[in-house]
């Protein structure tokens, strides 16, 4: 499937999941849709399971506070919507080469050049965002492993502070790399 069409389908499916999935049956339907997408892409159930495991912290951090303030079914439905979109985004990134995505983004943004929007800058921001997500997830895994090795009990602050510092350092390194290549912001 051409990258541009795949991107439009991903955006459309994400919007449909976000706006129409309000009951448990609709969550099950959306889950079936996402699982079918993985199967059609030729990806195994193991790959799908690894994406669910990768999204576990998003699920946990979204579900826990909602369970305090919302009925359980609403909390589960809200969390499932976001988790399904994240897992669908993983399918998109697993099946799409970054250069193809950048080319499609530049072509899609070309009409906006007359309004002062630089398509190549939009594509660069998209590429940096996509490539930074697994890096930050890796930081999180490293921090958790280091804390476990030191016997530090899990706590939001002792996890969030090192993650924030590592993420900001990574962002600073990216900015230096972009600057060194002479790319204007």
Helix axes 119-150, 156-180, angle to 10 degrees: 140
Residue 39 to residues 20, 33, 90: CA-CA distances in angstroms?
Answer: 23, 10, 14
Measure the CA–CA gap between 20 and 15, rounded to whole angstroms.
8
| Tens-digit pLDDT profile for residues 70-104 | 999 999 999 999 999 999 988 988 898 888 888 88
pTM (predicted TM-score): 0.70
- Per the CB < 8 A criterion, the answer to whether 85 and 62 are in contact is no
| Per-residue model confidence as pLDDT tens digits over 15-63 | 999 998 888 899 999 999 999 999 999 999 999 998 888 888 888 888 9
Instruction: Please tell me the distance from the alpha carbon of residue 59 to that of residue 124, in angstroms, as a whole number.
Output: 29
- Check residue 185 and give its pLDDT: 59
More reliable by pLDDT, 157 or 74 = 74
């Amino acid at each position: 499937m051409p990258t541009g069409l795949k991107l439009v389908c991903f955006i459309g499916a994400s919007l449909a999941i976000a706006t129409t999935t309000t009951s448990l049956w609709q969550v099950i339907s959306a889950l079936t849709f996402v699982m079918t997408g993985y199967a059609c892409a030729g990806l195994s159930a193991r790959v799908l399971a690894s994406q669910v495991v990768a999204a576990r912290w998003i699920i946990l951090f979204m579900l826990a506070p909602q369970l305090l303030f919302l009925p359980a079914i609403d909390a589960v439905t809200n969390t499932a919507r976001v988790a399904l979109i994240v897992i669908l985004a993983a399918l998109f990134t697993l099946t799409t080469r970054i250069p193809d995505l950048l080319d499609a983004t530049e072509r899609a943004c070309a009409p906006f050049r007359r309004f002062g929007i630089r398509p190549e800058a939009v594509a660069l921001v998209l590429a940096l965002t996509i490539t930074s997500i697994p890096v930050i997830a890796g930081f999180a895994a490293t921090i958790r492993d280091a804390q476990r090795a030191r016997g530090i009990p899990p706590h939001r602050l002792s996890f969030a502070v090192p993650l924030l510092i590592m993420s900001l350092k990574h962002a600073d390194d990216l900015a230096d790399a972009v600057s060194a290549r002479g790319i204007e912001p």
